[in-house]
Structure 1
Amino acid sequence: MSALARLKTDIEDDDRLSEADFQRISALIGREVGIKLPPTKRLMVEGRLRRRMRVLGLASFSAYGDHLFRQGGLDGELPYLINAVTTNKTDFFREPEHFDLMERLMVPNLLEARRNERMPLLKVWSAASSTGAEAYTAAMVLSDIAAQRRDFRFALLGTDISTDVLDQGRRAVYPAEQIVPVPPAKQSRYLMFARKAGPRPEVRIVPELRRLVRFQRLNLMAGTYPFDRDVDIILLRNVLIYFEKSDQEAVINRLVGHLRPGGYLLLGHSESMIGTSVTMRQVAPAVFQKTGA
């Protein structure tokens, strides 16, 4: 490392977000998107904001705090701040038992309830879709089932607060190492590999599947969601753990309002609906079915 690079690193290491500005950012993110940023997240926030500061040409956290809170830059910067501090962990076939259950139980039950309809449309919503791996996993599973049964259609919606991850979902391009959990048969059907691999190999979802998945920005803290109210399956996995208890309940209530009777809500295995006022039938770990008319 050159002397200039070492000096720059030392300056960055010494520069810290002030306690007051961290508290303001933490309160702002909690208020806007419901995500908790406790003091233990301060180093993570600083690391991510350094990249944003370079884009803006700001030399210090003090200058960034001035830009946000004392120079009127907050409104224009807020989407980028949200992109920077939100966590977007996702994988293909994460918690695979949910997708096994989709094939064995959920889709057959949903179609049986609509047996009098000709080619019903199943609607699936990945409500915190991140870069789209979850939505495309569901699309692969549903596409295989549809090819076997030939008696239904399906469409998927992926929503997230971060515009960066939504853009990646629309591009549907992923590092080759990320698709390792995808079964080989599905890899051959649903993924396109470059003829000549580069230094960092990438794959892309086939266009036939991309056409069935759309992505749209949504803040789960919004009072209402501008989407259909006859959704068959909603996935909200490993997101509620970042919310306060009251916000968890409000989000679940709003999402359940978009499920058709008999529809399913899937949470992360580390999450639970215990303590909420929502009445649903639990059919498997972290899988709930809406009852009633």
Structure 2
Amino acid sequence: MSVAGQRLAPVFEAPPDPSHRREFILTDSDFLRVRRMIYQRAGIALSEQKREMVYSRLSRRLRELDMTEFTSYLTNLDDNKNSREWEEFTNALTTNLTSFYRESHHFPLLAAHASQCTQPMTVWCSAASTGEEPYSIAMTLIEALGGRASQAKVIATDIDTQVLKKAVTGIYTVDQVSKISPERLKRFFLKGTGAQAGLVKVRPEVMAMVSFFPLNLLEHQWPLKDPFDAIFCRNVMIYFDKPTQAKILQRFTNLMKPQGLLFAGHSENFSDISAAFRLRGQTVYSFEGKC
């Protein structure tokens, strides 16, 4: 009681349970199942801090399927290992952040490496997302190789089938190419007019160099045979645990030409994971041997 004889409200009150205001309830066991399932399916190790992301992205799938419970949704996936919904589940939990010439210090190194190779250049972009990275690679090869660039190949893969559909079109907004120099814009893009105003499209000669197809880095067999002069695996390993990272790096060694380059993301370090690669520059590694 207060001195005025009135009841005082407690100084500290427990915050209301946010699940009471939500459309769906994501229980602790549901969240653990999601983490287990995406790890087994794609090698992605979701942290405890990703709970809100999981709720937001998978809620869209529940609405699309007219379902009311995460538990039922996850059980249906577990009971149907070949369901096409696994693709949607994986797509929903895959983060795609990219831009043209992202981590720009990598591209001069790629150009210098290409100019030293006498055989047709081959590059694998293992996380192609919506296409900005593989097209940046192709444009770099054109600048470095000139007429020989028509013989170069860029293999672009991603686990997310939805972003690959976008990448294949080669169409982007003006904002998405705003940081590209006017010279490169003129050389490598077509400007939309009329109904396509505000859009640009990658020129056919650039698109012809790039082949897109889905690939899960955890697959037992990759549909790749010829060794590569360079592999871009940027901002991918951060989603995997150390054993998975080591396994993927080991598989890379079977697909790289001697002294081939491996490009990593700005927050990734492979030196303490694999002895097969030597640090050559800022987040760039070389596979020992000759080009």
**TM-score per shorter chain, which class?**
0.7 to 0.9
SS in 1 for 2:50: helix
The answer to whether structure 1 residue 48 and structure 2 residue 79 are counterparts is: no
Could you report, residue by residue, the CA deviation over 1:138-182 in whole angstroms, capped at 9, with x for unpaired residues?
Answer: 1111112222x6587311010111111111111112222111222
Identify the residue that residue 85 of structure 1 maps to in structure 2.
93
Select the residue among 230, 234, 250 that pairs with 2:231: 234
Distance in 1 (alpha carbons) for counterparts of 2:50 and 2:58:
12
Specify which structure has the higher proportion of helix: 1
Residue 13 (structure 1) shift: 2.4
The answer to whether structure 1 residue 75 and structure 2 residue 73 are counterparts is: no
Identify the residue that residue 142 of structure 1 maps to in structure 2.
141
Is the alpha carbon distance of 1:234 and 1:30 closer, same or farther for their aligned partners in structure 2, counting shifts above 3 Å? same
From the CA coordinates, give the structure whose radius of gyration is larger: 2
Is the alpha carbon distance of 1:225 and 1:74 closer, same or farther for their aligned partners in structure 2, counting shifts above 3 Å? closer
Identify the residue that residue 106 of structure 1 maps to in structure 2.
113
Could you report, residue by residue, the CA deviation over 1:64-121 in whole angstroms, capped at 9, with x for unpaired residues?
Answer: 345334xx34531211100001111111110001002222x31123x2xx3xxxxx31
Identify the residue that residue 11 of structure 2 maps to in structure 1.
none
Identify the residue that residue 259 of structure 2 maps to in structure 1.
262
Q: List alignment gaps of at least 5 residues for structure 1.
A: 1-9, 115-119
Identify the residue that residue 6 of structure 1 maps to in structure 2.
none
For 2:95, give the aligned amino acid: T
Distance in 1 (alpha carbons) for counterparts of 2:163 and 2:26:
25
Distance in 2 (alpha carbons) for counterparts of 1:188 and 1:54:
43
Give the aligned length.
271
Q: List alignment gaps of at least 5 residues for structure 2.
A: 1-18
Query: Contact 2:115 / 2:145 at 8 angstroms: preserved in 1?
Result: no
Could you report, residue by residue, the CA deviation over 1:213-270 in whole angstroms, capped at 9, with x for unpaired residues?
Answer: 0111111112332213421110001111111001111111111210111211111121
Query: Contact 1:122 / 1:152 at 8 angstroms: preserved in 2?
Result: no
Q: How does 1:188-203 map to 2 (within 5 A)?
A: 188-196=186-194, 201-203=198-200
SS in 2 for 1:215: strand
Is the alpha carbon distance of 1:157 and 1:285 closer, same or farther for their aligned partners in structure 2, counting shifts above 3 Å? same
The answer to whether structure 1 residue 282 and structure 2 residue 279 are counterparts is: yes
Select the residue among 105, 112, 131 that pairs with 1:97: 105
Select the residue among 184, 187, 212 that pairs with 2:185: 187
Is the alpha carbon distance of 1:288 and 1:60 closer, same or farther for their aligned partners in structure 2, counting shifts above 3 Å? same
Distance in 2 (alpha carbons) for counterparts of 1:212 and 1:175:
21
SS in 1 for 2:64: helix
Is the alpha carbon distance of 1:95 and 1:53 closer, same or farther for their aligned partners in structure 2, counting shifts above 3 Å? same
Query: Contact 1:229 / 1:260 at 8 angstroms: preserved in 2?
Result: no
For 2:156, give the aligned amino acid: G
CA RMSD of aligned residues (A): 2.2
Is the alpha carbon distance of 1:59 and 1:176 closer, same or farther for their aligned partners in structure 2, counting shifts above 3 Å? farther
Is the alpha carbon distance of 1:151 and 1:141 closer, same or farther for their aligned partners in structure 2, counting shifts above 3 Å? closer
Q: How does 1:26-37 map to 2 (within 5 A)?
A: 26-37=35-46
TM-score (normalised: structure 1)? 0.85
For 1:81, give the aligned amino acid: F
Query: Contact 2:114 / 2:145 at 8 angstroms: preserved in 1?
Result: no
Is the alpha carbon distance of 1:151 and 1:178 closer, same or farther for their aligned partners in structure 2, counting shifts above 3 Å? closer
Q: Give the percent of matched residue pairs that are identical in Structure 1 and Structure 2.
A: 32
For 1:27, give the aligned amino acid: R
Distance in 2 (alpha carbons) for counterparts of 1:64 and 1:54:
11
The answer to whether structure 1 residue 247 and structure 2 residue 231 are counterparts is: no
For 1:108, give the aligned amino acid: S
Identify the residue that residue 152 of structure 2 maps to in structure 1.
154
